[in-house]
Structure 1
């Protein structure tokens, strides 16, 4: 009976597929060299993360994207902001249970209990880890609890990013001012090339500083975004609301179920979703209604720092522009001097041409009585010189009158 059954793929389809393979690949499969399993798993590989908890303990974890999404309750599009394979601008995003930070070389996920820092060979990552551990240990020893954990982690990231950019700007200032002064005194191809490279560096650095400044300013202008970043307070309120039956009866709108009545699993899951949504909305509304000066003052402090760094870059750019204007004026002055010299040289050539014309006239093969007079040659030269001098002086007076020469 098995031999009498029709095949799953019709014979006509098999023949047609074979002919297509022969047409494009000479009998080989068209996509034989492509391993789809590797392509599929390329974006799901594990990465090294440094975990720093509230108690100041750090460890290295290997987590893939799916584990991070479940651990931090984040969508995949937010994790793409931290992927080093993609180029994304500076970003500080507040989510329900996490803060996503992408500041220069610092890429991390901050929650109310821990910081997941993307591990790399960059020195900024190591500096961030050591500085955050030092501050957590210092606050633990001093029993200081002025800022929640997520704000302390965010403060360290902002401080390192601002310090890194400011150090680069200071180093550029030390290097560029002598080069510009040397270029102003001596215009050469080597100095122009050095200034061109430094100007490109300034433009790239200005874009980076501007992105950090705009991101901080955007957060300061939106109270809702700042309220989303109060993770510890939202966590405590969610715990309080979840443990309170009064919250369920007042806000969820579901009556208390009888102990003997059967409970449908669908109704339980639906009430849980509504409870979670209402809890999030209530926590955000409560934080929005309160003051957010704590986070706003923190952001404002680093906004002033990054704005000062941007002003340094703008001052450098203005100094370069002023130097370029000075060089152009200097080159224009040299060009004007060359034009004046060319004008005088042309006038002198015209006067000398008069002598050539007189010599050409007297050089003709004709006989006149003047050739028999001995002092005639001297008088002709004197009269021609006086006439040429008068013409040259007349041209100079005209140039002075028209202010063509100083």
Structure 2
């Protein structure tokens, strides 16, 4: 009995364990109902939340309309960015250097000096020369100099590549010396801003003169050498120097035009008196004699440089034209020599033609005669000379050049044609007593007109 009971209990326990294992296996097989699915789905849902698009409630609150931050960022909170800075050297009212290679924000310069954003762009870029006059400042961008002039301060901007240049350093010393001259030391002293402007113009004109001397010397030397001998290397050097000279002429012309444009603007000239404007002194629009005389003096210097460079460019152009004419003449001479040899070969070819005819092994009935060989030789030489003389005469006729063609307008070939004749064909007009050249020309035209009218009336109908 005990064995039977024990066996029944064991069978029941095995059946219950088997049912449990089957149910757990079914649960694990069902992925969507298992715990693995939930563990796999959690990070995916978190990733979806991170990449979900912004909702209207996710944006920060908008500032008020009159708030400075809202006006600057157009309704959005923007993080402050690094503003662009410009490095410059500052001179105070006494001409002392107060700051070397200092950094200024563009917004500060625009706000303090009353400038526009586009004004500072002209300093950054290598653009055309400019002299801009603003209510409280003068902005200058000419060649290697970029500076801002106030009534008591000068900012010299450090342009790229010109910080350590010799010209820039000379300008700094000259500017410091000009600014240290007090206004009341002499009767003819200039205000602070005009002394700074004069230092700028002196540096610009000195740079132009030095550059012109550096370009002029090699050009003049090459032109002198070309007068003695025309060489390929000299022509190549002349081409290189002419390009440099053309670039310099354009640069000097732009500087002169910038000063000329400022001289033509009377309102800008009157606004350049920054010291008087800072002291509350008003000035008429046409009362700008001092600054006008200052600008005109340096405008004349720039104009002289431009004229000298233009004359040198015209000399180069004239030399090139003369060289072209000489080369054309040499080429024509070579072509003429080639034609002469060709004509000579033609004459010899005519003689060899007859010699070839008599050189054939055919009976011509003069082989046995005594005068056959000299007769054929003399005939071949005669025809050779005729061909050569005829060719040379044609060549000489083609070689003759005339201003109005091969012959005058009164030649038989041009008879009946209307055209311009040579001046030798015009009959001289007699001069009356007390008659000048203009009156004689008018009388000659009237006589010619009357002669044409008479010839037209005498023609048969």
TM-score, length of structure 1 as denominator length: 0.74
Match status 1:95 vs 2:141: no
TM-fit CA distance, 1:40: 5.5
Match of 2:51 in 1: 14
Q: Please report how far the alpha carbon of residue 16 of structure 1 lies from its aligned counterpart in structure 2 after TM superposition.
A: 7.6
CA positional deviation for 1:173: 1.2
Q: Which has the higher helix share?
A: 1
CA deviation after TM superposition for structure 1 residue 207, in Å:
1.4
What are the superposed Cα offsets for residues 211-266 of structure 1, whole Å, 9 maximum, x if unpaired? 1111111111110111121111111117xxxxxxxxxxxxxxxxxxxxxxxxxxxx
Q: In structure 2, what is the equivalent of residue 73 of structure 1?
A: 114
Q: Conserved in 1, the CA contact under 8 Å of 2:219 and 2:242?
A: no
Q: Is the 8 A contact 1:106 1:124 kept in 2?
A: no
How far has the Cα of 1:402 moved from its partner? Answer: 4.4
Mapping of residues 294-373 of structure 1, within 5 Å: 294-373=290-369
- Residue in structure 1 matching 2:284, options 262, 283, 287: 287
Higher relative contact order (CA 8 A, sep 6+): 1
- Distance (whole Å) between structure 1 residues aligned to residue 364 and residue 81 of structure 2: 109
CA deviations on 1:342-364 (whole Å, 9 max, x unpaired) are: 22122111111112211221122
Shift of 1:184: 4.1
Instruction: Give, in angstroms, the shift of residue 11 of structure 1.
Output: 5.8
Answer yes or no: is 1:190 the counterpart of 2:229. Answer: no
RMSD: 2.7
Query: Which deviations, in whole Å up to 9, do the C-alpha atoms of 1:111-148 show, x marking residues without a partner?
Result: 00010011322222221221122223344794556211
Partner of 1:50: 89
| Correspondence 1:233 to 2:233 | no
Residue in 2 that maps onto 1:63 = 104
TM-score relative to the length of structure 2 = 0.66
Based on CA coordinates, which of the two structures has the bigger radius of gyration? 2
2-side partners of 1:381 and 1:363: how far apart? 12
| 1:383-402 superposed matches below 5 A | 383-402=379-398
The size of the alignment, in residue pairs, is 327
Distance in 1, Cα, partners of 2:154 & 2:288: 22
CA contact (8 A) 2:355 2:376 kept: no
Shift in Å at residue 400 of structure 1? Answer: 3.0
Structure 2's unaligned 5+ residue stretches are 1-46, 55-77, 403-461
SS of 1:369's partner is coil
Counterparts of 2:218 and 2:309, CA distance in 1: 13
Q: Which runs of 5+ in 1 are unaligned?
A: 1-9, 18-36, 239-282
Write out per-residue CA displacement over residues 146-182 of structure 1, whole angstroms, 9 at most, x where no aligned residue. Answer: 2111011011101110111111112211111111222
